[in-house]
Amino acid sequence: MKKSIIVLMIFVLVVGMLAGCSTSEAPVEEATEETTEEVTKAEDLTVGFVYVGPIGDGGWTYAHDQGRLELIDALGVNTIYVESVPDSDASIESEIRNMVDQGAEVIFATSFGYMDHVEKLSKEYPEVTFFHCSGYKQTENMANYFGRMYQPRYLSGVVAGMKTEANKIGYVAAFPIPEVIRGINAFTLGVKSVNPDAEVEVVWTSTWYNPATEKEAAVSLLDGGADVITQHQDTVGPQQAAEESGAYSIGYNTDMREMAPKAYMTAPVWNWGPYYIEQVQNVIDGEFEAHAYWGGLEDEIVALDDLTDLAPEGAKEAVESAKESMINETFHVFDGPIKDQSGEVKVEAGETLTDEEMLNMMWFVDGVIGNIN
pLDDT digits (tens, 9 = 90+) for 126-168: 999 999 999 999 999 999 999 999 999 999 999 999 999 999 9
- Cα–Cα–Cα angle for 61, 64, 65, rounded to 5 degrees: 85
In a domain, 21, yes or no: no
| pLDDT > 90 in the chain, percent | 88
Three-state DSSP class for residue 368: strand
Amino acid, res. 357: E
In a domain, 33, yes or no: no
- 112 and 210 belong to one structural domain: no
From first CA to last CA, the distance across the chain in angstroms is 103
- 186 and 50 belong to one structural domain: no
Give phi and psi for 340, each to the nearest 5.
-90, -175
Tell me what the mean pLDDT of segment 117-131 comes to.
98
Is a pLDDT exceeding 90 seen at residue 345?
Answer: yes
**What's the order of all strands across the beta sheet hosting 168-173?**
264-266, 248-250, 228-232, 168-173, 199-204, 368-369
- 110 and 245 belong to one structural domain: no
The CATH number for 343's domain is 3.40.50.2300
Tell me what the mean pLDDT of segment 305-316 comes to.
98
Q: For residue 41, what pLDDT is reported? A: 87
Note whether 145 and 131 are within 8 A (CB).
Answer: yes
Q: Cα–Cα distances in Å, from 294 out to 41, 146, 254, 287, 363?
A: 29, 5, 19, 19, 21
In a domain, 353, yes or no: yes
Average pLDDT, the chain: 91
Is a pLDDT exceeding 50 seen at residue 105?
Answer: yes
Q: In total, how many domains does the chain have?
A: 2
* Residue where a domain terminates, one of 281, 299, 317: 299
Domain span at residue 290? 43-147+272-299
- 198 and 310 belong to one structural domain: yes
Note whether 71 and 245 are within 8 A (CB).
Answer: no
- 53 and 200 belong to one structural domain: no
- 62 and 88 belong to one structural domain: yes
Three-state DSSP class for residue 208: coil
In a domain, 339, yes or no: yes
CA dihedral 145, 148, 182, 291 (to 10 degrees): 30
Q: For residue 367, what pLDDT is reported? A: 98
Quickly list H helices, the chain.
2-39, 60-75, 91-101, 115-124, 150-163, 178-194, 211-223, 237-245, 273-284, 315-327, 355-359
Which distant-in-sequence residues (6+ apart) come within 8 Å of 203 by Cβ? 170, 171, 172, 173, 217, 220, 221, 370
111-132 per-residue burial string, b: 16 or more CB within 10 A, e: under 16: bbbbbebbbebbeebeebbbbb
- 111 and 95 belong to one structural domain: yes
In a domain, 55, yes or no: yes
- 223 and 162 belong to one structural domain: yes
Tell me what the mean pLDDT of segment 340-366 comes to.
97
In DSSP terms, 201 is beta-bridged to 170, 369
In a domain, 359, yes or no: yes
Three-state DSSP class for residue 200: strand
**pLDDT, tens only, 204-241:** 999 999 999 999 999 999 999 999 999 999 999 999 99
What region, left, alpha or beta, does residue 225 occupy, with left being phi > 0 and alpha being psi -120 to 50 degrees? Answer: left
In a domain, 325, yes or no: yes
- 181 and 289 belong to one structural domain: no
CA distance 31 to 45: 19
Q: For residue 89, what pLDDT is reported? A: 85
Note whether 137 and 120 are within 8 A (CB).
Answer: no
pTM for the structure as a whole = 0.87
- 210 and 339 belong to one structural domain: yes
Three-state DSSP class for residue 373: coil
In a domain, 195, yes or no: yes
- 40 band by pLDDT with thresholds 50, 70 and 90: low
- 88 band by pLDDT with thresholds 50, 70 and 90: confident
- 161 and 262 belong to one structural domain: yes
- 204 and 331 belong to one structural domain: yes
Three-state DSSP class for residue 249: strand
